[in-house]
Amino acid sequence: NFSVVGETEFKSARSVRPNTVIILFGPNDLKLQIWDPKQYRDDLRAVVQSFLDEKSVSFIFVATPPPMYIPGVQAQAANAALCGNKNGASSVGETASASIIEALVTEFNSSRVRVVDVCSSLGGTNLSHPEFFFDNSRVTHNTTQDGIHPNDAGHEAIYRAVYGALARPWREESYVPGDMRIDGIVYDGYYSDCLVHLDLNGNDLQDEEEPLALTDVAGEYFFAGGSGISEMLRDAPNAETRVLPSINCRDTFTQQGLNTVMRAVPGSETVNPLTTLLRALAKQELSEYP
């Protein structure tokens, strides 16, 4: 019920230099007695901008909030404003429109800022999933099931919506037709936040001008460098893709860090222990039979 900008948790979230940020304003921000669309938008803009200013942040996912399963025109209007009225005219006189969150993300005009549609996953303005707020789908209003705070099933639905957005490949949006693309997945369990190095001369060093990429939560990475990478690889018979151990690089399932360099030939669909072994065997064979 008060600003988080000066709070310890907010400062801590910035101090850890995150790569990916998920922002979801919670149910207390939607209380009808304090609901102010302009204030909501301004506060959200300030929080997004504060993370956008952090050089470590690659992506910011701004989530639409869960809808309010409570009666009244005011609640319906708030739901339409926050979830977006995707079904055309409604009982509160709204026309088909984007949500406050979608409009804000468009305003930033940055590929680093993206929308997660949590609201639709929890029933949207049609309130089609009361089971995420009320046991046995009982649409009642009481102190333990207030129609605003999701239950365990609702929290699982939020998790699935957010995870789906994080795991969805976004590299197509950055792809320019005609680019030479080197992309793949780092997998032994998916490795996220790992630095991927295209070692053009095969010297095991990160030389200047050699392309770098960072894996996402699904272990995916890509280099998109147009004709530049094409020309580099044409004259680079010893090139290989290397995944480098780093502080934030870890298996998303076990949370174990990467303690060795993994390798593959450029263009390989995956980089994993097997491709690393194959690269080692190939190098050994080349050294034995020059």
pLDDT tens digits along 220-261? 888 765 556 767 777 788 889 999 988 889 888 888 999 999
* pLDDT tier at 181, thresholds 50, 70, 90: low
Kindly state the percentage of the chain with pLDDT values over 90: 13
Residue 116 has pLDDT above 80, yes or no: yes
What mean pLDDT is predicted for residues 78-104? 65
pLDDT at 179: 47
pLDDT digits (tens, 9 = 90+) for 197-224: 989 888 988 887 788 888 888 888 887 6
pLDDT at 289 over 60: no
Nearest-angstrom CA–CA distance, 158 and 136 = 19
pLDDT average, residue stretch 86-98: 44
Mean pLDDT across the chain: 78
Output the pTM of the full model. Answer: 0.56
User: Range with the lowest mean pLDDT among 34-38, 45-49, 69-73, 253-257?
Assistant: 34-38
- SS3 (DSSP) at 195: strand
Q: Which of 250, 30, 60, 33 is nearest to 147 (CA)?
A: 30
Res 236: pLDDT: 83
Which is it for the CA torsion 137, 139, 142, 145, positive or negative?
A: positive
- Report the pLDDT value the prediction gives residue 90, as an integer from 0 to 100: 38
| pLDDT per residue as tens digits for the range 20-35 | 889 998 766 666 566 7
C-beta of residue 275 within 8 angstroms of C-beta of residue 263: yes
Q: What is the mean pLDDT of residues 88-105?
A: 60
SS (H, E, C) 34-74: CCCHHHHHHHHHHHHHHHHCCCCCCEEEEECCCCCCCCCHH
The mean pLDDT of 118-143, rounded to a whole number, is 76
Give residue 178's pLDDT.
47
